[in-house]
Amino acid sequence: MNNQNKNILSSPRGSGFIEGCKSAIPIAIGYLPIGITFGLLARAGGISYSITMMMSLIIFAGASQFVGINLIALGAGTVEIVLTTLILNMRHLLMSASLSQRVASGTPKGILALLSFGLTDETFSVASFRKEAILQPEFLAGLNLLAYIAWNLGTWLGFCLAAGLPEAVKSSMGIALYVMFIGLLAPSCRKSKAALTVALSAMAINFLLQHIPSTAGLSTGSRIVIATVVGAIFGAVIFSKEDKA
């Protein structure tokens, strides 16, 4: 019996759907309030119920959804929204490629596609730290499904709860989106010089694009895409040189 088969047989608890659901409970607890926040902000931003729920059902990417509703509220075009969310989600290609090396061989491609759809930063972290060498698709399905249900339940609750809020509160909730992004960005910038450099570069580029006469006519979405890409490239070039040194 080879090592791969020994790992599978020696870790039966890690291969089941129920075990996957159990492992997802902490993620689900965290996703509920964030999903509620998304639903609240979407309704406060004038996004319809159907679009809000379809974003959570089909996109299922927290950061991209928050950015998406912000861009929609700002009147950004479809291409700009797609490009921005594509840039944000590029990391999922790396996460999927990494995790695919540990999925049991012989898993049908259709199942792999469903598993990759449900992959998030949190489910990837939980799956990556599992001790068994081979991850069964049943475990990953349970892990992803409970997280998916919690996110969509939170979105629905948030949208419904927003209906009972006073208009003044709903209209003021738009600032919560910016506060959330600052809250996510600040700790990373404190710990990482690279993150701070990229953030400041993107802010400076966006400011210049807005005030230089030749680019002042660009839409908000276009400026965000350009600033994000150029800032990321600038950070990669600077810190790659430091690594070589």
Note the pLDDT of residue 190: 80
Of 169, 201, 233, which one is at a domain's C-terminal end? Answer: 169
Of 108, 138, 169, which one is at a domain's C-terminal end? Answer: 169
Is the domain of 164 the same as that of 198? no
Domain count, the chain: 2
Is the domain of 145 the same as that of 206? no
Is the domain of 29 the same as that of 70? yes
Is the domain of 208 the same as that of 158? no
Q: Is residue 147 part of a domain?
A: yes
Is the domain of 38 the same as that of 139? yes
Q: Is residue 177 part of a domain?
A: no
Is the domain of 130 the same as that of 18? yes
- CA separation (Å) from 20 to 9, 28, 94, 102? 17, 12, 22, 15
* Residue 220: domain span: 192-244
The rounded distance, in Å, linking the Cα atoms of 51 and 90 is: 23
Cβ contact 159:53 at 8 Å = yes
Q: Is residue 34 part of a domain?
A: yes
The pLDDT mean for the chain works out to 80
Q: Is residue 186 part of a domain?
A: no
Q: Is residue 175 part of a domain?
A: no
Q: Is residue 213 part of a domain?
A: yes
Q: Is residue 183 part of a domain?
A: no
Is the domain of 39 the same as that of 119? yes
Q: pLDDT by residue (tens digit) across 180-227?
A: 567 657 777 787 787 788 888 888 988 898 888 888 777 766 777 788
Is the domain of 145 the same as that of 36? yes
- CA separation (Å) from 185 to 23, 74, 195? 27, 21, 8
Is the domain of 121 the same as that of 22? yes
Question: Which residues, in sequence order, are CB contacts of 80 under 8 Å at separation 6+?
Answer: 71, 219, 221, 222, 224, 225
Neighbours of 75 (CB within 10 A): 10
DSSP E strand boundaries for 34-118: none
Is the domain of 40 the same as that of 159? yes
Q: pLDDT by residue (tens digit) across 33-63?
A: 888 889 988 888 888 899 999 999 998 988 8
The number of residues in the chain equals 245
Q: pLDDT by residue (tens digit) across 72-105?
A: 877 777 888 888 888 778 778 878 888 888 888 8
Query: Could you give the count of Cα atoms lying within 13 Å of 202 in the half-sphere of its Cβ?
Result: 20
Task: For residues 106-129, give the mean pLDDT.
Answer: 87
Tokens of 167: 């208009």
Of 169, 184, 201, which one is at a domain's C-terminal end? Answer: 169
- CA separation (Å) from 176 to 3, 115, 161, 235? 51, 32, 16, 28
Is the domain of 131 the same as that of 205? no
Q: Is residue 179 part of a domain?
A: no
